[in-house]
Structure 1
Amino acid sequence: MAFSKIKQPKSFTQIAYMEIKNAIINHSITPGQTLYERDLSEKLGISRTPVREAIQQLEIEGWVKSIPRKGIYVNDISIKDVEEVFQLRKANEVLVMELVISRITDEEINILEEMFTSQSKITDVKSFILFDTNFHVYLAELSGNQRLVQLMKSLSDQIHWFGIQALHQSGRTNEALKEHAQIIETIKNKDLERARIAIHEHIEKTRAAILSSL
């Protein structure tokens, strides 16, 4: 007799972890801001123990820092953080282009264009960066390399966190859309060399926008 596995419900610690982390990524809790367990537990409607455990996990991952006798703070976005993440992003996304060009279908190109059209209608910064992240992760998925997809997804939270900072700059959303359009065009034309250049320029301009906003 076959049984379906019972899905274990999320614990309060997991829920607190995701809520706090998402608030940090979306800048609802800003870099450098102090976190108070009591305040968070009241806002989340849970006891302080799971909040404390969630904060411990966030500290392990580098999102927050605990300073004895001073408190718990959200980490600032540092130049070193940005440089390290974008070094990895550049290497990964150039590889994505190399793998995607030879295998992408017309249907998949249509999906990319639909994603671009949807993103171009977005005016909210947080929604825009979510569409941007999904665009790049979808490209990675088209590569057919699951390890590459996982690497991209592992960077996506920090890229999202940085991106919110950059997109508050005037004109950056329009620039990013133009860069996406160029990336799609090079893929449609199966022009690998121009695709490499387009993705490289997009990443470098995003990096520069983030650094100038710090």
Structure 2
Amino acid sequence: MRASDKAYEQIRDEILDGAISPGTLLGEVEQSERLGVSRTPIREAFARLAADGLAVQQRGRGTVVTDVSLDHVEDLFELRTALEVQAARLAAARVSSEQADTFISLAARFRAASHVEAGFVPTDYYQLASSLDTAIDEAVHNDYLANALRGLRTHLARVRRLAQDNPERLAASSNEHALIAESIAKGSPQLAEAATLVHLSQSLQHIQHQQHPRQAAAV
């Protein structure tokens, strides 16, 4: 792996995990020393982070981690709905028998994860959700759609941290993901679309509740 790729991936993961907070100034010298690479790969990594929308290069300051808020979450979900629903439909229409087995296995893992008493933690859930994303990308066979989804997921990961992790919601979401995986495994675009729409609707409602709890409780 190139030094710039390594630096980019590590800083990117730290931003998404919250280890590097919004508003943090990313100094070239500091990051170069911390990651053990020269300043040229660091500058290349910063440029890629800016292209991702995770950082911005400010005149007189340098590269700063961008802020993230829930203010535009509905706009984000409009794009998410368009991309993920289409991806689910295509995956169900194009899934191979071998890939169907993968989706069946993922569905079973999601069902097991839906039991809060089993001690399922958010990190495990997100790793499992990432595996489903990868399986869908592979079944779709459309690099343009897959690349668009990867960019979207970057911003969703940051929004998710603001929405807080709720055990009951994670359990419900696990069942929703299981239904998506099962629908794709059956090769049913209609069921895959419906299951995805239900999941996205429930996810948005949960985030909005975290943003405006009193207002959401009155609905």
What TM-score do you get using the length of structure 2 for normalisation?
A: 0.73
SS of aligned partner of 2:22: coil
- 1:141 equivalent in alignment to 2:138: yes
Number of the residue aligned with 1:17:
8
Q: Is the 8 A contact 1:62 1:75 kept in 2?
A: yes
- 1:113 equivalent in alignment to 2:110: no
Number of the residue aligned with 1:39:
30
SS of aligned partner of 1:158: helix
Number of the residue aligned with 2:125:
128
Instruction: Map Cα deviations across residues 83-125 of structure 1 (whole Å, 9 max, x no partner).
Output: 3442222112222333333443554333113224445288443
- 1:86 equivalent in alignment to 2:77: yes
Number of the residue aligned with 2:158:
161
**After alignment, is 38-47 or 176-185 more displaced?**
38-47
Instruction: Map Cα deviations across residues 70-89 of structure 1 (whole Å, 9 max, x no partner).
Output: 56431122346543442222
SS of aligned partner of 2:56: strand
Mapping of residues 54-69 of structure 1, within 5 Å: 54-69=45-60
Residue 202 of structure 1 deviates from its aligned partner by 0.8
Q: Is the 8 A contact 2:69 2:159 kept in 1?
A: no
Residue 49 of structure 1 deviates from its aligned partner by 4.5
Residue 24 of structure 1 deviates from its aligned partner by 0.9
CA distance in 2 between counterparts of 1:57 and 1:80 reads 25
**Aligned residue pairs, count:** 205
Residue 176 of structure 1 deviates from its aligned partner by 1.3
CA distance in 1 between counterparts of 2:94 and 2:27 reads 50
Residue 164 of structure 1 deviates from its aligned partner by 4.1
CA distance in 1 between counterparts of 2:88 and 2:54 reads 30
**After alignment, is 115-124 or 93-102 more displaced?**
115-124
Which has a greater percent of helix? Answer: 2
Q: Flag structure 2 segments of 5+ consecutive residues without an equivalent.
A: 212-219
The AA in structure 2 aligned to 1:17 is Y
SS of aligned partner of 1:171: helix
Residue 27 of structure 1 deviates from its aligned partner by 1.9
SS of aligned partner of 1:78: coil
Number of the residue aligned with 2:216:
none
Give the alignment's Cα RMSD to 1 decimal: 3.2
The AA in structure 2 aligned to 1:137 is T
- 1:172 equivalent in alignment to 2:163: no
CA distance in 1 between counterparts of 2:46 and 2:96 reads 44
Q: Choose from 71, 87, 105 the match for 1:96.
A: 87
Q: Flag structure 1 segments of 5+ consecutive residues without an equivalent.
A: 1-8
Residue 20 of structure 1 deviates from its aligned partner by 0.9
Residue 51 of structure 1 deviates from its aligned partner by 2.5
Q: Choose from 172, 181, 185 the match for 1:184.
A: 181
